[in-house]
């Protein structure tokens, strides 16, 4: 029973982190057909800026409570600044090019961002644990869990719900779905596709940065964290179906629980459990569980 | 007849004298053409291992090389250069997908005279056979896996390692646990899933089986290196309630484990042993719970005993880099001092002479004495120490208390015996003072 509950909580906790870290990636792919490797760089920028800001703020001796506003604020700043610069400064000149070329372009951006984080914050690790500790612990069957972990699960649910509502219950969201379906027809119908691209990229970047920003208090923020997350995020969206928000939720849950089950029941399998799930899903559904329907144009 | 003899003797003498002069001239030419020694220095300059490991190691390399070139080192190392030759370093990033190609470029294109490098055990396993093929003096300074000379290259000619392998850390950790923690009945481990982590757990759990037969292992966690998130592993450890948790985590992973485990009372419910915890002392401060058992992969940093060389090293490092040297800095310093000791002993920068002098060498480093007495004189052993963490609120700094020292023969296998074999034999031949 104890192990089952631990698997449930750990699986949900890891799935929440995976969803927050990968939803921006799948959103950008769904709308722009760009497999954005630079997403890992945005995650790292979010983590660094959050840890740095928390560190500066805590030196003032003020209450930790304000850091819960500081974290999303830094993610928004990173999303707006980095997202706009990269989309307006680089990507808009590449639209319409082959998807593989876009992978190379975003990989180059990722490498630039990796070096940029080192130039800005150096190579020393940043530690900003206060927000993760401040909320305290909850004991479940005698095992302590940080409340912060449950807050992240709540945040992931909130993000998923807002995205679903935004896409399905607002006019802008419905227009975006049209752009996802067929950008040429959308353009012909008078939808400003370029504006949607810019807005989507900034939102995707902000979500990537948010993933890093909320993770920062739980980890040691070191160079290279972006490279680690992009692999996991890629696994999640491939399982769920690239471009599908619902797929990202299901993919995150699959991967989260696969990892939790292996850690608790058979730790040696932890390393490849994620890829085992990915291989099993792709063997049955080669384009992922919720892949977008591909219309054939004649 | 007599004149003929004299003539012959004279000819013989002049031929011998000429040969001597030519020989002397050519050997001085060999010495003279090495007024500068190119030294490849490979360490993590990017990626997750750069901040806590690669950069402190590079810093130490820069510091030592500058001091050697200027003859500013104290004591036995005060002579200028390597046997008089200036060192010209070429720094290379270990965080590369083409480590072997990078190494070959150093040797073949840059024509370095020697290579000092490698933090990752994976790197050392890949480079060791290549270094032997390339016939280039290569000194591993930090990687810990015992497999390098026990399995990968069992008769090394060109490869040396100037830090003790991870068996020393984990045997000493087990000895420290048995010496200082009462009533140990269960233990568990969380180690990274690659050679260093697996070897570390093998050696610690093997040592515990010998030193505390009644204690049982209850959980073995092997998360991916640089995973950063250990929520599930910490839950698994908490559910098993072990008395001891062993971890060879290093760098950012170790710091993340402290933050996440500390927040969830792992450190108060179990006695946690961090064999590489020393690098986090300055940065984490009060976040490392009091009572945590800390190692430094040798008697480095706060575990180093006072000496003129250590005093110089710490002061020069702090003056230049504004932070304390951690064990990767110590390991880099001892590799460079090892090469200098060998070259100075040979009084030559010639590779064959330096290698011959390096084999079985004993030399002083900031952390004490290094003896190259394993793997035919190619692998170092050293005594080590462990301590228990205590945060001093008044000074705002962490310290190590209850420090216990273990001499080299107590925590390193003897020559000719593999680490696991030695541990399973009940530490046959170990001499603990």
Residues B282 and B312 in one domain: no
DSSP letter for B413, please: P
In the structure, what pLDDT confidence band is assigned to residue B46 with cuts at 50, 70 and 90? confident
DSSP string, A28-43: HHHHH----TTHHHHH
pLDDT of res. B16: 47
Mean per-residue pLDDT, A14-18: 96
Residues B52 and B119 in one domain: yes
What is the domain partition of chain A in residue ranges? 2-284
Residues B254 and B332 in one domain: no
Give the C-alpha distances (Å, rounded to integers) separating B51 from B55, B256, B280, B309.
Answer: 6, 14, 11, 25
A137 has a chain B CB within 8 A of its CB: yes
For the stretch B379-393, pLDDT in tens is 999 999 999 999 999
**Pairwise CA distance, residues B229 & B226, whole Å:** 9
Question: Which residues of B touch chain A, with CB atoms under 8 Å apart?
Answer: 46-52, 54-55, 95, 193, 219-224, 226-229, 231-233, 235-236, 238-239, 251-253, 255-256, 259-260, 263-265, 283-284, 287
Question: Which of A14, A135, A141, A224 should be substituted to probe chain B, the one whose Cβ sees the most B Cβ atoms within 10 Å?
Answer: A224
For the stretch B321-380, pLDDT in tens is 999 999 999 999 999 999 999 999 999 999 999 999 999 999 999 999 999 999 999 999
**Pairwise CA distance, residues A282 & A284, whole Å:** 5
Question: Which of B232, B250, B262 should be substituted to probe chain A, the one whose Cβ sees the most A Cβ atoms within 10 Å?
Answer: B232
pLDDT of res. B34: 65
DSSP string, B348-359: S--HHHHHHHHT
* Cβ proximity of B122 and B385 under 8 Å: no
pLDDT of res. B31: 44
Complex ipTM tops 0.85? yes
**Pairwise CA distance, residues B352 & B139, whole Å:** 14
Residues B190 and B267 in one domain: yes
**Pairwise CA distance, residues B45 & B93, whole Å:** 5
Check pLDDT > 60 for residue B431.
yes
* Cβ proximity of A274 and A232 under 8 Å: yes
User: Looking at beta carbons, which residues of chain B come within 8 Å of A153?
Assistant: none
pTM: 0.86
- On average, the pLDDT of chain B sits at 91
DSSP string, B268-299: HHSEEEETTGGGGHHHHGGGSPTT-EEE-SSS
- Number of structural domains (chain B) is 2
User: Looking at beta carbons, which residues of chain B come within 8 Å of A115?
Assistant: 46
Mean per-residue pLDDT, B205-220: 96
CATH number of the CATH domain containing B360: 3.40.50.2300
In the structure, what pLDDT confidence band is assigned to residue A293 with cuts at 50, 70 and 90? low
**Pairwise CA distance, residues A10 & A33, whole Å:** 32
Residues near A230 by beta carbon (within 8 Å), at least 6 away in sequence: A25, A37, A39, A40, A43, A110
Our CA-based measurement puts residue A205 at a distance from the nearest CA of chain B, in whole angstroms, of 22
For the stretch B283-335, pLDDT in tens is 899 999 999 999 999 999 999 999 999 999 999 999 999 999 999 999 999 99
Our CA-based measurement puts residue B287 at a distance from the nearest CA of chain A, in whole angstroms, of 9
Instruction: Say which residue, A63 or B8, is predicted with more confidence.
Output: A63
Residues B256 and B390 in one domain: yes
CA atoms within 13 A on the CB side of B290: 7
User: Looking at beta carbons, which residues of chain A come within 8 Å of B95?
Assistant: 224
For residue B255, what are the domain limits?
167-303+383-424
Residues B264 and B395 in one domain: yes
For B235, which of A10, A129, A267 is closest by C-beta distance? A10
Residues B297 and B393 in one domain: yes
Q: Is B115 inside any structural domain?
A: yes
For the stretch B234-244, pLDDT in tens is 999 999 999 99
Residues B223 and B371 in one domain: no
Check pLDDT > 80 for residue B47.
no
Q: Is B12 inside any structural domain?
A: no
A2-284 carries CATH number 1.10.3470: yes
- On average, the pLDDT of chain A sits at 92
Mean per-residue pLDDT, A134-162: 95
Check pLDDT > 90 for residue B225.
no
Residues B236 and B339 in one domain: no
In 3-state terms, what secondary structure has residue B216?
strand
Residues near B290 by beta carbon (within 8 Å), at least 6 away in sequence: B389, B390, B391
Q: Can you say whether the dihedral through the CA atoms of A164, A165, A169, A172 is positive or negative?
A: negative
* Cβ proximity of B430 and B409 under 8 Å: yes
Check pLDDT > 50 for residue B22.
no
pLDDT of res. B27: 42
Residues B328 and B292 in one domain: no
């Amino acid at each position: 029973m104890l192990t089952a509950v631990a698997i449930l909580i750990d699986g949900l906790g890891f799935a929440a982190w995976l969803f927050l870290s990968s939803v921006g990636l799948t959103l950008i792919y769904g709308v722009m057909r760009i497999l954005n490797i630079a997403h890992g760089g945005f995650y790292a920028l979010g983590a660094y800026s959050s840890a740095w800001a928390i560190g500066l703020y805590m030196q003032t001796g003020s209450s930790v409570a304000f850091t819960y506003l500081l974290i999303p604020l830094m993610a928004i700043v990173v999303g707006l600044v980095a997202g706009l610069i990269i989309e307006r400064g680089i990507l808009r000149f590449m639209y319409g090019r082959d998807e593989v070329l876009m992978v190379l372009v975003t990989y180059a951006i990722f490498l630039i961002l990796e070096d940029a984080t080192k130039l800005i914050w150096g190579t020393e690790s940043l530690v900003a644990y206060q927000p993760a500790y401040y909320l305290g612990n909850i004991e479940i069957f005698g095992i302590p869990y940080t409340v912060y972990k449950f807050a992240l699960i709540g945040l992931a649910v909130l993000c998923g719900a807002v995205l679903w509502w935004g896409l399905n219950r607002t006019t802008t969201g419905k227009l975006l779905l049209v752009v996802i379906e067929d950008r040429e027809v959308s353009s012909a119908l008078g939808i400003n596709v370029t504006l949607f691209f810019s807005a989507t990229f900034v939102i995707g970047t902000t979500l990537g940065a948010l993933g890093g920003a909320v993770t920062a208090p739980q980890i040691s923020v070191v160079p290279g964290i972006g490279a680690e997350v992009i692999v996991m995020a890629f696994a999640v969206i491939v399982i769920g179906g690239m471009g599908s928000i619902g797929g990202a939720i299901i993919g995150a849950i699959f991967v989260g629980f696969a990892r939790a089950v292996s850690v608790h029941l058979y730790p040696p399998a932890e390393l490849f459990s994620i890829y085992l799930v990915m291989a099993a899903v792709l063997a049955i559904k080669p384009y992922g569980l919720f892949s977008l329907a591909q219309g054939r144009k004649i | 007849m007599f004149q003929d003899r004299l003539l012959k003797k004279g000819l013989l003498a002049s031929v011998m004298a000429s040969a001597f002069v030519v020989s002397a001239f050519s050997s001085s030419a060999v010495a003279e053409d090495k007024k500068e020694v190119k030294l490849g220095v490979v360490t993590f300059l990017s990626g997750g291992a750069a901040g806590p490991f690669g950069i402190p190691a590079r810093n130490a390399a820069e510091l030592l090389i500058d001091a050697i070139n200027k003859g500013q080192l104290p004591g036995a190392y005060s002579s200028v250069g390597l046997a008089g030759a200036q060192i010209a370093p070429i720094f290379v990033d270990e965080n590369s997908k083409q480590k072997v190609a990078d190494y070959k470029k150093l040797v073949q294109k840059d024509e370095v005279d020697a290579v000092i490098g490698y933090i990752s055990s994976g790197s050392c396993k890949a480079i060791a056979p290549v270094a032997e093929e390339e016939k280039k003096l290569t000194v591993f300074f930090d990687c810990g896996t015992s497999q390098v000379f026990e399995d990968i290259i069992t008769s090394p000619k060109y490869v040396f390692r100037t830090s003790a392998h991870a068996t020393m850390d984990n045997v000493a950790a087990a000895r420290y646990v048995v010496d200082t923690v009462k009533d140990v009945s269960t233990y568990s481990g969380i180690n990274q899933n690659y050679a260093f982590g697996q070897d570390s757990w093998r050696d610690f759990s093997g040592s515990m089986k010998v030193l505390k037969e009644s204690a049982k292992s209850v959980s073995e966690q092997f998360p991916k290196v640089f995973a950063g998130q250990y929520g599930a592993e910490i839950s698994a450890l908490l559910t098993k309630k072990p008395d001891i948790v062993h971890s060879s985590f290093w760098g950012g992973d170790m710091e993340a484990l402290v933050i996440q485990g500390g927040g969830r009372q792992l450190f108060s419910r179990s006695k946690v042993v961090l064999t590489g915890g020393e690098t986090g002392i300055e940065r984490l401060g009060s976040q490392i719970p009091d009572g945590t058992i800390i190692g430094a992969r040798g008697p480095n940093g706060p575990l180093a005993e006072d000496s003129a060389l250590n005093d110089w090293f710490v002061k020069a490092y702090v003056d230049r880099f504004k932070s304390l040297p951690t064990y990767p800095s110590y390991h880099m310093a001892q590799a460079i001092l090892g090469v200098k000791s060998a070259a100075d002993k040979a009084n030559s920068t010639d590779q064959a002479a330096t290698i011959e002098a390096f084999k079985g060498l004993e030399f002083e480093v900031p952390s004490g004495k290094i003896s190259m007495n394993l793997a035919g004189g190619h692998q170092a052993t050293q005594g080590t120490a462990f301590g228990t963490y205590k945060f001093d609120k008044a000074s705002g700094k962490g310290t190590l208390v209850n420090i216990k020292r273990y001499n080299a023969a107590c925590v390193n296998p003897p020559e000719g015996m593999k680490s696991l074999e030695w541990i399973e034999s009940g530490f046959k031949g170990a001499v603990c003072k």
